[in-house]
Amino acid sequence: MAENGGRPKGRIIFHIDMNSFFASVEQAHDPSLKGKPVAIAGNPKERRGIVVTCSYEARAHGVYTTMPVWEARKKCPDLIVIPPDHNRYRDASNAMFGLLGTFTELVEPVSIDEGYLDVTETDWPGSAVSLAEEIQRRVLAELDLPCSIGIAPNKFLAKTASDMKKPMGITILRKRDVPSVLWPLPVIEMHGVGKSTEEKLNSIEIRTIGELAAAHDGLLKENLGKRGLYLKARANGIDGRPVDPESANERKSVGGSVTLPVDETDPDEMKKTLRMLAGKVALRLARRELAGDVVTLQIRDADWVNHSRSRTLTNPVFSEEAIFREAEALLDRHWEGQPVRLLGVTVGRVVDRSEATEQLSIFSYEKYAREEPVLKALGELEQKFGKGAVTRGIRGAGPDGK
């Protein structure tokens, strides 16, 4: 790729971020919805229904992700509320990533509506910006979907850049721009920092990204462990992760299983085995700095019949105790007393732990929020702390909050 008339010095990474993805897919499917306030909501007929995402027309009326449907209708009486169609969104996502694959083989999906491209060696005659414009144009022309693109020398900065201009933005963020663009911002604005981490950083007098970038390694490690050093590197614009097309397949789940010495019928003995398996899975997750929000229990009975039961969690887990607790609950709920030959525990839908820290799934928390004050508090969090305060850790194998 031509860049400033010569060969680029470093990598050229794009982050593609689809704008209001679910709502945009619905508008593409039904053009009569274009230009109208549209909201995608779970249980839209119930008072407790939650806005998963909404069109920019709806946002202009004050509607936002995580707002209760009743409140959204109050702010926007003409709001068109549509239940989510996951098959439709999955098809649109596959088409989007298929199109991106025509530009480079180095495409790494990170959720249903966003991904990275390494275009350093792409055979494109123009600049990185002109390539981004062509990608943006084709996604809109062929799929009728808008997107924003961040251009940077690494994944962290590309991700940060794509958030800066929406919808249909193209933003370049160079490492030399970090002091002026990122350092003045509060730490909560940094990708990978949630409310809990913000509070920990604030407690040690670190309130801006610049202060995090300059913090002493020992102080960070003492209060946040290795993750503190990871965040400091990001605050300085450092990120050596490659764009890996295989990572999505490699990182879907982490698990382990064991064949029992006898066909077991004692639940206490089985729970000892589950504790051991939870410890092994937690160790494997720790080595790769991953967490996941689906825990699966596998039971193979004495007749070699496999039984698999899963639970989707509100927050991603990675500790032995949390994994064991969920596996134990699945055993208590689903084991019917038959002799057990094999037990397995798996944590699925895994993501980088830094992206998963105490973040809430829009689809999951409806099951737990039973009172309007809880919903109101969640909405206030989103308004106060912005996008990402109450979203998925991988941003979405679930909903998009854009």
Tell whether 147 is covered by a domain.
yes
**What is the model's pLDDT at position 66?**
84
DSSP assignment string, 263-304: EE--HHHHHHHHHHHHHHHHHHHHHHTEEEEEEEEEEEETT-
Q: How confident is the model at residue 388 (pLDDT cuts 50, 70, 90)?
A: very low
Which range of residues forms the domain containing residue 221?
183-236
Tell whether 243 is covered by a domain.
no
pLDDT higher for 351 or 337? 337
Indicate the length of the chain as a whole number.
402
Q: How confident is the model at residue 381 (pLDDT cuts 50, 70, 90)?
A: low
- Domain co-membership, 211 together with 280: no
Q: How confident is the model at residue 26 (pLDDT cuts 50, 70, 90)?
A: very high
Q: How confident is the model at residue 9 (pLDDT cuts 50, 70, 90)?
A: low
Contact predicate 122/112, CB 8 Å: no
Mean residue pLDDT of the chain comes to: 85
293 annotated as ligand-binding: no
The predicted-structure confidence for 112-131, as pLDDT tens digits, reads as follows 899 999 999 998 999 999 99
Burial class of residue 130 in the structure, from the number of CB atoms within 10 Å of its CB (0-12 exposed, 13-18 middle, 19+ buried): middle
118 annotated as ligand-binding: no
> What's the token pair of residue 227?
């993750």
pLDDT higher for 88 or 388? 88
The predicted-structure confidence for 60-104, as pLDDT tens digits, reads as follows 999 998 899 999 999 999 999 999 898 899 899 999 999 999 999
Counting the structural domains of the chain, the total is 3
Q: How confident is the model at residue 354 (pLDDT cuts 50, 70, 90)?
A: low
Bridge partners of 18, per DSSP, are 147
Tell whether 246 is covered by a domain.
no
**What is the model's pLDDT at position 301?**
86
Tell whether 244 is covered by a domain.
no
Tell whether 278 is covered by a domain.
yes
Q: How confident is the model at residue 362 (pLDDT cuts 50, 70, 90)?
A: very low
pLDDT higher for 397 or 28? 28
Write the CATH number for 188: 1.10.150.20
Residues annotated as catalytic are 114
- Domain co-membership, 217 together with 333: no
The predicted-structure confidence for 171-214, as pLDDT tens digits, reads as follows 999 999 999 999 999 999 999 888 888 999 999 999 999 999 99
Contacts for 174 with CB less than 8 Å, ≥ 6 apart: 152, 153, 157
Q: Tokens 């066909």 correspond to what residue?
A: 263
- Domain co-membership, 336 together with 229: no
The predicted-structure confidence for 314-340, as pLDDT tens digits, reads as follows 778 999 999 999 999 999 999 989 999
Q: Tokens 């530009």 correspond to what residue?
A: 103
Tell whether 241 is covered by a domain.
no
**What is the model's pLDDT at position 349?**
85
- SS3 state of residue 374: helix
pLDDT higher for 239 or 370? 239
Tell whether 157 is covered by a domain.
yes
Write the CATH number for 288: 3.30.1490.100
